[in-house]
Structure 1
Amino acid sequence: MDALQIFFRCYWPAFYFICLCLHLTMYTLIYHRTSRILTTLRYFLYPATTANFVLATLAFATQTMVTVTGLINLHTLCYRTMSLKYLDSYEADKATLRFSWHYLIPLVTLILSYLPPQNHANVYMETLFLHPDYNFEIYKNFGGFANSHHFCMTFNTFALALTTIYVPIIGSYWKYVALKILRSNISSMTSNPSRIMLETLIKGLSLQVLLPLCCYVPVTIVYVWNKYSGTQILISQYTLPFLGSLPCIFDPLLQIYFIMPYRTTIRNFFVCNPLTPISRQARGELTRLYETRRD
C-alpha cells in the first residue's frame, strides 16, 4: 500500500467526522440562533445544509466526485438580492421562484447520463489497458460509461463545465448589485447595523458560489494535462473526489463565519461565555461592528 492510499484511507473517515460535526452545528445554529432579520433565510439554510450533508455522506460512502451545492448557494444570494431590489415581498418571491428553472440543469444531465447504452466489462478492460501504471486492485471490478463520446455525454460535459463558470460569474454580479443597493438606497431606510449584517452575509454567499470554480479548475487542468501531454499524473486518480469533497467542509465554515449571530455564538462557546438572547446578542454585535467601521 503506497503513501497516497494510506493518506486517503485516513482522510475519508476524518472528512466525514468533521462534516458530521459541522452540519450538526449548523442545524443547531439555524434553529436556535437565527436573528429576526434573517428568519426567512432559514428556508434556504435548511435545504442547503441538508443537501451538503447528503453530498458529504455520498462522498464518504462512494469516494467519487460530488456535486457541490453551488446552485442552492446562488439561489440564496438571488433571494437576498431580489429582496433588496424589490421592496414588495411578492415581487421578490416571484423573481426568486423563477430562478428554480436552473435546477433543470443537474436534473437533465443526470437523465442524459443513463440514456446511452453501457458496457461495464469493456470499460473495465479499456481502463486497465490505457492506465497500466495505476493500481486497480483496491477497486476490484468496476464499471462506467462506455460511450463517452455519445452526444448525451458530450452535452453533459459542456453543460457542467459551463455551469461551473456560470455560477461564480452570476453570483459575483448579484453580489455587486446587492451591495450597491445596500450602500445607496437601503441605507436611508435601514439601520446601519442591519445593513452591515446583510453586507457580511452577501459577501459570504459570494465566496460560497466561488467554491465550484476553485475546486474544479485544478481538476480540469490535470485532466487536460493527462490527455494531451502523453504522461499520467498518478495523483490524478485521487484528485477529483478529494477536491470535490472540499466544499462539504468549507460551505458550513463560511456560513458560520459570515452569518454574524452564528459566528458570535461559536466564539462565545469556545471562550465559555454565557449565551445571551439572540436579539440582544445581535444588537450588541452589530453595534460594535458599526462603531469599529465608523472609526
Structure 2
Amino acid sequence: LPYYEISFQKSTQPSQFQIASGKYRCKPNPSGINGRILASEVYPHIFSIPHFRFHPSKYRMLPCDTVLALLPVGPCRYFGPATCFVAYNIANALNMNAAISVLHSMFFRYRLIRATQMSNARVRTHLLITAAVPLFLAISPHVVPFHFNTVMEVAMREHPEYNLEKYGPFGGFYPTTSPIFIINSAILYATAVALPLVIFYWRHHILKALNSSQTVFTEKTRHNSRLLLKALTVQAVMPLLCYVPAGFLYFIAQFTGYNFVFLEYLFPIFTTLPCAVDPLVTIYFITPYRVWVIQRIRASIAPIQLHNNVRSSMS
C-alpha cells in the first residue's frame, strides 16, 4: 500500500481548504493576524510537496554507527542520492519555517492585545531574521563534501541482515559526529521543545490581558482571541508530541547503537502529522474559515439532495 501517497493527499487537502478559505474570507492584510494565520498554513502546504515527493515518507531512515542513511523507497531513487539529500534538507528547513510561522501568529496576537502592533517594515524585519534559521538548515549540510559511498559502505556493513542493495545508490550523513550535523539536529530538536514553551508564555499573558478588568475589549474580540489562542496552542503542541518522542528515540538509536526497527518506518509519519492536523485545527477554530468550508460543503450537497427529491417525487 503506497501510504505515502495517501498521506500526501490527506495532508495537502486540508491545507488547500484553509488557504482557499483564507483567500475568500479574509481581507488582504500582510501585517495583520490573518496574514500570519494564512502563512502558518501556506508553509506546511509547501513543505508537504517536497516532503512527500522526495523526503522521509519515501525514505527509510537508517541510523547506524557514524552515519545516517536515507534509503529511498519511492521515485526519489530515480533522481539519485544527491537530489534526494538536497530535498531532505530543504524539507527540514520548510518544516522549521512552518513551526516559526505559528510562533509569529501568537507573537502578533500578543502585540495586538497589548496595543503595540508593529509597522509593516518591522514585521518584515522580524520575518527576515527568523528566516535565517531555516536557511541555515537548508544550506549548511551542503558546504561540506558528500560521503555517500561511505554511507552505503557503513550501512551495509552494520546491517548485513538487510538487503540494502534493493534501494540502489543512496546517500545520507557522514559523520554524524560532525559539528554541522550535531548543530542542525540540536536546532530541530530544541525548536520542537522551545517554541511551545514560548507560545505558552505568550498565551498566559494574552489570557491575563483579556480577563483583566482594566482592559477594554468587546466581547467579540475576547471570544475571537480565545478561539485563535486555542488553535495556535494545538498547533504548538503538535510538534511537541510528534517530534520530541521520535527525536529522543532517534538520538538513542544513532548514538548508542540500539536498534528501533519501528522508528525507521514511523519517524516520517510522526514528522508529517502536523501538516495534516494544523489546517484542520485552524478551519475548526477560526470562524470565517469554518463558515466558508461549511458553505462549500452545503453547496456541493444541495444539488444531490435536489436530484434525489426530484427522483422521489417522480416515482
Q: Normalising to structure 1: TM-score of the pair?
A: 0.78
Tell me how far 1:135 sits from its aligned partner.
4.5
Secondary structure, counterpart of 1:148 in structure 2:
coil
Paired with 1:186 and 1:32, the residues of 2 have a C-alpha distance of 36
Which string of whole-angstrom CA distances, capped at 9 and with x for unpartnered residues, describes residues 102-144 of structure 1? 3222222333212232211111111111223345355221012
Indicate yes or no: 2:183 matched with 1:152.
no
Describe how 1:188-227 pairs up with structure 2 within 5 A: 188=216, 190-227=217-254
Tell me how far 1:161 sits from its aligned partner.
1.9
Indicate yes or no: 2:259 matched with 1:232.
yes
Paired with 1:194 and 1:37, the residues of 2 have a C-alpha distance of 18
In structure 1, the partner of 2:36 is: 44
Tell me how far 1:202 sits from its aligned partner.
1.5
Q: 1:55 aligns with which of 47, 53, 58?
A: 47
Paired with 2:103 and 2:277, the residues of 1 have a C-alpha distance of 15
Paired with 1:186 and 1:199, the residues of 2 have a C-alpha distance of 18
CA contact (8 A) 1:122 1:146 kept: yes
CA contact (8 A) 2:189 2:244 kept: no
In structure 2, the partner of 1:72 is: 101
Paired with 1:224 and 1:16, the residues of 2 have a C-alpha distance of 27
Tell me how far 1:83 sits from its aligned partner.
1.1
- Residues 207, 97 of structure 1: alpha-carbon distance in 2 compared, 3 angstrom cutoff: farther
Structure 1, 192-201 or 129-138: larger mean CA deviation = 129-138
- Residues 88, 217 of structure 1: alpha-carbon distance in 2 compared, 3 angstrom cutoff: closer
Which string of whole-angstrom CA distances, capped at 9 and with x for unpartnered residues, describes residues 200-231 of structure 1? 10221122122221111221232244346654
Structure 1, 237-246 or 143-152: larger mean CA deviation = 143-152
CA contact (8 A) 1:120 1:143 kept: yes
Paired with 1:94 and 1:24, the residues of 2 have a C-alpha distance of 29
Tell me how far 1:172 sits from its aligned partner.
0.9
Q: Normalising to structure 2: TM-score of the pair?
A: 0.73
In structure 2, the partner of 1:17 is: 9
Indicate yes or no: 2:201 matched with 1:173.
yes
CA contact (8 A) 1:49 1:252 kept: yes
Secondary structure, counterpart of 1:156 in structure 2:
helix
Tell me how far 1:260 sits from its aligned partner.
1.8
Structure 1, 57-66 or 72-81: larger mean CA deviation = 57-66
Tell me how far 1:37 sits from its aligned partner.
11
Secondary structure, counterpart of 1:235 in structure 2:
helix
Paired residue type of 2:105: T
Gaps (5+ residues) in structure 1? 1-5, 275-295
Secondary structure, counterpart of 1:144 in structure 2:
strand
Structure 1, 12-21 or 92-101: larger mean CA deviation = 92-101
CA contact (8 A) 1:22 1:253 kept: yes
- Residues 172, 92 of structure 1: alpha-carbon distance in 2 compared, 3 angstrom cutoff: farther
CA contact (8 A) 2:31 2:123 kept: no
Task: Give the RMSD, CA atoms, in angstroms.
Answer: 3.1
Describe how 1:257-272 pairs up with structure 2 within 5 A: 257-270=284-297
- Residues 185, 81 of structure 1: alpha-carbon distance in 2 compared, 3 angstrom cutoff: farther
Structure 1, 165-174 or 208-217: larger mean CA deviation = 208-217
- Residues 143, 37 of structure 1: alpha-carbon distance in 2 compared, 3 angstrom cutoff: closer
Gaps (5+ residues) in structure 2? 57-87, 302-315
Paired residue type of 1:52: P
In structure 2, the partner of 1:34 is: 26
Aligned length: 265
Which string of whole-angstrom CA distances, capped at 9 and with x for unpartnered residues, describes residues 48-100 of structure 1? 32221111111210132644311011111111111111x24346974784465
In structure 1, the partner of 2:151 is: 123
CA contact (8 A) 1:175 1:202 kept: yes
Paired with 2:201 and 2:163, the residues of 1 have a C-alpha distance of 44
Tell me how far 1:155 sits from its aligned partner.
1.9
